[in-house]
Amino acid sequence: KAKQQTGSSCHFFSQELNQQAQKRMDLEVRLRKAMQHDQLELYYQPKVCLKKQNIVGVEALIRWNDPERGLIPPLDFIPFAEETGLILPISYWVLETACKQVVNWQQTGRMPIKIAINLSARQFQDPGFVSQVETVLQHTGVDPKWVELEITESMLMESMDDMLPVLHELKRLGVSLAIDDFGTGYSSLAYLKQMPIDVLKVDRAFVKDLPHGQNDCAITRTIIVLAQQLGLSVVAEGIEQIEQAEFLTNSGCDIGQGFLYSRPLTLMDLEEKLSRPLPG
Ligand code: C2E
Ligand code: MG
Ligand code: MG
Ligand code: MG
């Protein structure tokens, strides 16, 4: 490709860089427009009590509904939004939308369920973060006991010391805290003990090969026992097969989430599902 260029390789590289910069600027403009034009949408994936088989909560998962490109999954724009800082207004929108939704369910007489919201590392670097959460809780009027904030284990690993006081402040607002993708990040058990968390979410990577992968069985059981011993609730994510669910239930896991129960749903589909019992 470079040979087709008549200029020097230096010229070629700077052209390439320009193209990359241009692409990123285009993406940034499109993402800003998406925010202005309500093209961001929350999908909701049910969390199910493994014993009783009822829906006990949902995880809010963002999608970008692009009129030209269709539904864009979070991994295709959240990392970019984190680099540019756009993640801050996006995260605010996610939190506000999720909290309003819980209030709406309460007002329309539906049984309230817990809503889990994914946080980004960038929010923890924002000095206004905790007071923003407090503001959203207050102006939506949501009871914080229905709000769960998810942070990934890898976020913790990167800046545990900075995050710890913020986690305590969040906790004081009455929300619950979950560690997402747990087991992949090698967090120290000593730290885990200090942290004001309520939930461990077993990473999908371990659930995938249950009940056949011997190591995965051992690791999953260990995480479940660890959670129990620390008085935490434990959620397994990425459950696709009934055998995985059985193994997890028999190992004492409280809550399951995955395609076996439901894919992430639009608000309309979730509300329909909530008004009917689960099949099976
Ligand atoms: P996560 O928080 O670990 O969310 C779970 C992901 O696993 C979701 O992908 C979900 O659709 C997918 N999943 C659920 N059950 C199954 C299953 O049975 N099998 C398989 N193969 N996958 C399953 P999604 O929605 O694409 O989100 C990916 C990641 O993007 C999330 O991982 C989270 O880290 C991030 N994310 C999503 N929404 C937000 C948001 O509002 N804010 C921030 N900061 N990050 C978000
Ligand atoms: Mg999550
Ligand atoms: Mg996860
Ligand atoms: Mg995950």
- By the CB criterion, residues less than 5 angstroms from ion ligand 3 are 180-181, 237
Q: For the chain, state the CA radius of gyration.
A: 21
Task: Please report which confidence band the pLDDT of residue 136 belongs to, taking 50, 70 and 90 as the band edges.
Answer: very high
Cβ-proximal residues to 59 (8 Å cutoff; 6+ apart), any chain: 44, 45, 47, 115, 116, 117, 118, 150, 257, 264
Ligand 1 atom nearest residue 43's Cα = 25
CA of 18 to the centre of ligand 4 (A): 34
CA distance 86 to 31: 8
**Which pLDDT score is estimated for 194?**
87
Binding site membership of 258 for ligand 1 (Cβ less than 6 Å): yes
Binding site membership of 75 for ligand 1 (Cβ less than 6 Å): yes
**Which pLDDT score is estimated for 54?**
94
Alpha-carbon 77 to chain mean position: 14
Integer CA distances (angstroms), 94 to 120, 146, 163, 192, in order: 11, 15, 21, 27
Contact 60, 267 (CB under 8 A): no
Nearest to 60 by CA among 253, 280, 267: 267
Nearest CA owner, ligand 1 atom 34 = 118
Cβ-proximal residues to 124 (8 Å cutoff; 6+ apart), any chain: 155, 159, 162, 163, 166
pLDDT of residue 159 exceeding 90: no
CA distance 24 to 280: 47
**Which pLDDT score is estimated for 276?**
78
Cβ-proximal residues to 177 (8 Å cutoff; 6+ apart), any chain: 148, 149, 150, 151, 167, 170, 171, 195, 196, 197, 198, 199
Binding site membership of 256 for ligand 1 (Cβ less than 6 Å): no
pLDDT of residue 263 exceeding 70: yes
Task: Please report which confidence band the pLDDT of residue 190 belongs to, taking 50, 70 and 90 as the band edges.
Answer: confident
Q: Return the sign of the alpha-carbon dihedral for residues 276, 271, 105, 169.
A: positive
Task: State the DSSP string of 149-161.
Answer: EEEEHHHHHHHHH
Interval 201-212: pLDDT, tens: 999 999 999 999
Task: Please report which confidence band the pLDDT of residue 4 belongs to, taking 50, 70 and 90 as the band edges.
Answer: low
pLDDT of residue 126 exceeding 60: yes
Binding site membership of 123 for ligand 1 (Cβ less than 6 Å): no
Give 172-176's long-range contacts (Cβ < 8 A, gap of 24+): 173/130, 173/133, 173/134, 173/137, 173/144, 174/137, 174/143, 174/144, 174/145, 175/133, 175/137, 175/144, 175/145, 175/147, 175/148, 175/149, 176/114, 176/145, 176/147, 176/148, 176/149
Nearest CA owner, ligand 1 atom 38 = 61
184 secondary structure, DSSP code: S
Nearest to 183 by CA among 149, 156, 214: 156
Token pair 């929010």 is found at 123
CA of 209 to the centre of ligand 3 (A): 16
Binding site membership of 45 for ligand 1 (Cβ less than 6 Å): yes
Nearest CA owner, ligand 1 atom 9 = 61
Contact 220, 14 (CB under 8 A): no
Binding site membership of 244 for ligand 1 (Cβ less than 6 Å): no
Count of Cβ atoms closer than 10 Å to residue 114 Cβ: 18
Burial of 149 per CB tally in 10 Å (0-12, 13-18, 19+)? buried
**Which pLDDT score is estimated for 17?**
76
pTM score: 0.93
